């Protein structure tokens, strides 16, 4: 029925679509294995230009960001107090805040360009972005991204409590690149995440605002969109299910750090992509952020997020 609603009529059309679906299922099954192969090669063969950027340091973080974290971890911190430290956009629960210093952004982008110019194998960030870097393949998960996610927990706990903001226990992180002769924009989508952090790292560019529509589970007959400008070193926090996209840049080049933050306590009950009880298969690393069925004793332990939703 779903295929008929999307224009399939003949048997040949159905067979062609099924072939495409089967090929995509097989591709996804091979993703993690191929990623691990690339990571091993990168670890052995790639020499970082700025090895210091691989481990998160307070000096990389904007002083305003550190002040916001201090407020959120202070006695009596509440949502209204936090909102006074953030820029808010409409009623869509989208917030902008300083994250990194300009010096760190420059060094990080320089490192990413150095990696891009190397001859080691590289994976694409996702099916929509053709240019960028998978940061787990660079070995940045544990030394950089996990501490960054943990720094954000006091904020997300206040901003998104119903999405597991206090227990975002895994992530998928990548950098995307937009330029005139590569990817210009990004069409409407929502993320495989409970909460997303999107930080503009630079470089010089014009236009290319982000736009946000409805929450994926609450579509309206006439969607209402807002545009939000990207500012270097600053990040946007939004719900992963918020429909959004990127308008075309008009000149220059832009790099963005995207961190999909996930809560196994939420997604163990309902996959955010297929909207069903997840049927899990084993995966390496963080997988898709599920932890699978747990006994009472296991629920009290630190979750091991290594499973993927088979659907």
98 bridge partner residues: 234
Higher pLDDT, 141 or 286: 141
Is the pLDDT assigned to residue 295 strictly greater than 50?
A: no
Is the pLDDT assigned to residue 299 strictly greater than 80?
A: no
Higher pLDDT, 280 or 146: 146
- What pLDDT was estimated at residue 182? 56
User: Helix, strand or coil for residue 302?
Assistant: coil
pLDDT in tens, 188-208: 778 889 999 999 998 776 677
pLDDT in tens, 64-94: 999 999 999 999 999 999 999 999 987 889 9
How far is residue 257's CA from residue 255's CA, in Å, rounded to a whole number?
7
User: What pLDDT band is residue 38 in, cutting at 50, 70 and 90?
Assistant: very high
Higher pLDDT, 59 or 217: 59
What the chain holds in terms of domains, given with CATH numbers, is: 14-268 (2.60.120.620)
Cα torsion for 36, 39, 43, 45, to the nearest 10°? 110
- Cβ atoms < 10 Å from Cβ of 233: 20
Token pair 């003949």 is at which residue? 10
Concatenated DSSP letters of 44-107: HH---S-GGGGS--GGGB-HHHHHHHHHHTSTT--HHHHHTTSEEETTTTEEEEE-B-HHHHHH
**168-156-281 Cα angle (round to 5):** 20
- Largest Cα span, the chain: 65
- Cβ atoms < 10 Å from Cβ of 124: 14
How far is residue 54's CA from residue 110's CA, in Å, rounded to a whole number?
13
User: What pLDDT band is residue 109 in, cutting at 50, 70 and 90?
Assistant: very high
Is the pLDDT assigned to residue 307 strictly greater than 60?
A: no
- What pLDDT was estimated at residue 79? 96
**251-254-255 Cα angle (round to 5):** 170
């Amino acid at each position: 029925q779903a295929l008929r609603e999307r224009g399939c009529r003949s048997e040949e059309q159905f067979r062609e679509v099924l072939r495409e679906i089967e090929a995509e299922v097989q591709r996804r099954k091979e993703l993690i294995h191929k990623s691990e192969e690339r990571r091993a090669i990168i670890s052995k063969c790639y020499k970082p230009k700025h090895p210091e950027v691989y481990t998160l340091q307070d000096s990389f973080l904007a002083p305003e960001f550190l002040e916001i974290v201090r407020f959120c971890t202070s006695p009596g911190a509440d949502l209204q107090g936090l909102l006074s430290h953030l820029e808010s956009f409409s009623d869509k629960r989208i917030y902008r805040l300083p994250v990194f210093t300009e010096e760190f952004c420059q060094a990080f982008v320089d490192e990413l360009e150095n990696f891009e110019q190397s001859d080691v194998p590289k994976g694409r960030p996702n099916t929509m972005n053709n240019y960028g870097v998978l940061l787990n393949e660079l070995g940045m998960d544990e030394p950089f991204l996990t501490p960054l996610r943990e720094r954000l927990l006091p904020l997300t706990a206040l901003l998104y409590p119903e999405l597991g903001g206090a227990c975002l226990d895994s992530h998928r992180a990548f950098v995307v690149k937009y330029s005139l002769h590569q990817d210009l924009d990004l069409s409407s989508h929502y993320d495989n995440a409970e909460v997303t952090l999107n930080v503009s790292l630079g470089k010089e560019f014009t236009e290319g605002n982000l736009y946000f529509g409805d929450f994926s589970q609450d579509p309206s007959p006439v969607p209402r969109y807002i545009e939000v400008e990207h500012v270097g070193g600053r990040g946007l926090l939004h719900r992963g299910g918020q429909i959004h996209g990127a308008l075309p840049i008009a000149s220059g080049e832009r790099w963005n750090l995207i961190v999909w933050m996930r809560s196994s306590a939420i997604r163990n009950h309902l996959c955010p992509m297929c909207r069903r009880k997840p049927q899990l298969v084993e995966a390496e690393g963080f997988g898709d952020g599920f932890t699978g069925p747990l006994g009472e004793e296991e629920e009290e332990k630190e979750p091991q997020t290594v499973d993927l939703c088979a659907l």
